[in-house]
Amino acid sequence: MINLKKDEIKSNYSDGQSRDLVIIGAGITGLTTGLMWLKNTHDKKTLIIDKNSYPGGYITAYQRGDYVFETTQLFPDVIDILDYLDIDLNLREFEGTYMRSLVVRGDEVDEYRIPVGPHNFAEYLMELFPEDAKKVKKFIDYCIDLFSQVRKLKAFPNLKDMIVTPFVAPKVLVNLNRSYSDLLDKFGFTNLKLREVLETFNAFSGLPPDQTSSIIATGAMMASMTKSFRTWGYFDEFPATMSKLFQERGGEMRLSAPVEEIVVKDGKAIGVKIAGDDSVIRADKVVTTIDPMVAMRGLVGDEHLPKKYVKRLDNTLMSPSSFNVALGLDDGVDLKELDLDYPFNVISTGLGSMEKLYDGFLNGVNNISKDCFHAAVVCPSLTTGAKNTITINVVPVAMENWNEWRKNDKKRYREEKEKLGDFFIDIVEKHFIPELSRCVVQKDISTPATYARYSGSPTGSIFDMATTVDQFGPRRLPMKTPIENLFQPKFAYGIYGAMVNGLQVTDLMLNCTVNDGNSLLNPR
Ligand SMILES: Cc1cc2nc3c(=O)[nH]c(=O)nc-3n(C[C@H](O)[C@H](O)[C@H](O)COP(=O)(O)OP(=O)(O)OC[C@H]3O[C@@H](n4cnc5c(N)ncnc54)[C@H](O)[C@@H]3O)c2cc1C
């Protein structure tokens, strides 16, 4: 029998009380915020509310027949935060190869094996591209330094911090307005094949290199390749463990409860309302971790917001979505033997593809074709030991007509899902798993409409607000909203970003007494 840990978490709230803090969303940002807050305030009354019947948001696992599928692939190096919060997880640390990457151009295929660890990565590239060895070494040393300077940066600087920032974090400052491709240009990378390998890391935000913030792309490189993990069990045990701890420490959770209003009075958030319930759950502070467009426009309403902020919302771009093909395979397939036991097996059409796909996303269409695609193949069952599963994770994907088809033309929705699913199964069959289509026992396909439904983000955005250069750093919607006592920790995405968001917002609400205003964990 399959036991999913997320199903063990039940609501434990009681009606009629006022709370010190209400958190909307039981994803990783909401759960981290709840645990951080309780650790540092002890007996404060804290309630986390989620519309779904289980915690975890985008980080989840689900059963189809005899198979368990998961959304997440990789657990970055957030061990310091896990330890700080006493989150005890049994993690597998990946060693050796971090990513096997195939770049396909017609019948020509280049294969790369990106190793774990930035220094190993540098050596690998230096061997592969000896004429660029010096540039590679300088670049990786620069990225390591840049990432270490982020640690010295204050998320909530006072005047003194602002004065010292140019001295303690000069690389962060010069990169604030720089795209990843500008950073690659600065190091003089002109060899197209080398650039292709280095551009692996902007794909982590579903953006092309000329749009991605250089800090986000190098941060993704450092945070995920320095040390990378996944749970030995199904991925839902991560949010389930956090939820259990939160409840044991006195926190309350209310599941299956969509918030429909953040109640604002005289410019202050005073509580929230759940759909179908007229009463207000009163709170001194409210934290929203859901899609910022929905939270600020739908739950608060433009009428409560300053015009300048509404204009910022008008100009905010949410990130692309994804298309996921989860397959349960018959027991005869040996995925380890097929050399697939890595955090990621990436297959793409290389340079220029992200630009075309992103362009399509901006225009509301999908430019996926046999000459233009980007997908990762992961094999969770090689770690969990469960029945054979693989997931083909495609990014970036536009909402296109997926929502429309799902709502008004179920037959077309199913046909389009199958068509695109088969397209990617063919690719994986050709390059990774011979005769794959004949080994499929169970298939479950997620489209942008699936992500929209489960997350509540109408655009099905899987990377939150897009981390383009002009939506990064001080130009991102701030955690402190224009509504007093309402906070929105959406500085970054991914497990790393979500946990740092929870840390920073707690520090902000508690006047920097938790983390001294630091951007990464460095508690007092
Ligand atoms: C397919 C996929 C694969 C991924 N793989 C990885 C990976 O390998 N590694 C990694 O680090 N990151 C990965 N990510 C990204 C990562 O999962 C997310 O960035 C992160 O989980 C976001 O957490 P969050 O809490 O900010 O938001 P969410 O997970 O979106 O949580 C928000 C919660 O709010 C709830 N909610 C929404 N509206 C309401 C409402 N009105 N009332 C009440 N509740 C509401 C939702 O139900 C949800 O539970 C992946 C994402 C996807 C989709």
For 406-454, what is the HEC assignment?
HHHCHHHHHHHHHHHHHHHHHHHHHHCCCCHHHHEEEEEEECHHHHHHH
Q: Are residues 425 and 472 in the same domain?
A: no
CA–centroid distance, residue 75 to ligand 1 (Å): 14
Indicate the top mutation candidate among 69, 242, 290 to test ligand 1's pocket, ranked by most ligand atoms within 8 A of CB: 290
Tokens of 345: 């097996």
Q: Do 87 and 169 sit in the same domain of this protein?
A: no
Co-location of 282 and 253 in the same domain: yes
Q: From the alpha carbon of 495, which atom of ligand 1 is closest? A: 11
- Domain check: are 341 and 417 in the same one? yes
Whether ligand 1 lies within 6 angstroms of the CB of 27 is answered as yes
In a domain, 516, yes or no: no
Q: Are residues 248 and 337 in the same domain?
A: no
Of the residues 226, 260, 284, the one at which a domain ends: 226
Pair 441, 470 in one domain: no
C-beta of 466 in contact with ligand 1 (< 6 A): no
> Using CA atoms, how far apart are residues 329 and 381, in angstroms rounded to an integer?
10
Which atom of ligand 1 is the closest one to the Cα of 393?
1
- Cβ–ligand 1 distance for 233 under 6 Å, the answer no
Residue 333 lies in a domain: yes
Can you give the C-alpha Rg of the chain in angstroms?
22
Query: Is 412 within the bounds of a domain?
Result: yes
User: Could you tell me the residue range of the domain that residue 391 belongs to?
Assistant: 73-115+320-462
Nearest atom, ligand 1, residue 446 CA: 1
Q: Is residue 518 part of a domain?
A: no
What CATH number has the domain bearing residue 430?
A: 3.90.660
Instruction: Give the separation between CA 125 and CA 131, rounded to whole angstroms.
Output: 10
What does pTM read for this prediction?
Answer: 0.97
**Same-domain pairing of 375 and 428:** yes
- 431 CA distance to ligand 1 middle (Å): 30
In a domain, 67, yes or no: no
Domain limit, last residue, from 226, 256, 282:
226
The CA–CA distances, whole Å, from 172 to 146, 163, 213, 215, 236 equal 6, 14, 11, 7, 34
Q: Where a domain ends, among 162, 197, 226? A: 226
- Total count of domains within the chain: 3
Can you read off the two tokens belonging to residue 201? Answer: 């890391």
Q: Which of 13, 23, 59 to mutate to test the pocket of ligand 1 (most atoms within 8 A of CB)?
A: 59
- 130, 205, 458 from 320: Cα distances, Å: 36, 9, 11
Query: Are 457 and 325 members of one domain?
Result: yes
Q: 128 and 96 in one domain?
A: no
Alpha-carbon separation of residue 263 from 119, 284, 310, 313, 486 (angstroms): 51, 11, 18, 19, 10
- The answer on 330 and 450 residing in a single domain is yes
Kind of pairing between the strands at 281-288 and 19-24: parallel
Are residues 204 and 338 both part of a single domain?
A: no
pLDDT (tens, 9 = 90+) of the chain, 524 residues, equals 789 999 999 999 998 889 999 999 999 999 999 999 999 998 899 999 999 999 999 999 999 999 999 999 999 999 999 999 999 999 999 999 999 999 999 889 999 999 999 999 999 999 999 999 999 999 999 999 999 998 889 999 999 999 999 999 999 999 999 999 999 999 999 999 999 999 988 998 999 999 999 999 999 888 888 889 999 999 999 999 999 999 999 999 999 999 999 999 999 999 999 999 999 999 999 999 999 999 999 999 999 999 999 999 999 999 999 999 999 999 999 999 999 999 999 999 999 999 999 999 999 999 999 999 999 999 999 999 999 999 999 999 999 999 999 999 999 999 999 999 999 999 999 999 999 999 999 999 999 999 999 999 999 999 999 999 999 988 999 999 999 999 999 999 999 999 999 999 999 999 999 999 999 998 76
Q: What is the domain-level CATH number for residue 298?
A: 3.50.50.60
Within a domain: 297: yes
Let me know if residue 515 belongs to a domain. Answer: no
The CA 58 to ligand 1 mean position distance, Å, reads 3
Which residues pair with residue 372 across a beta bridge?
369
Q: Are residues 339 and 437 in the same domain?
A: yes
**If you take atom 16 of ligand 1, which residue's CA is the nearest one?**
494
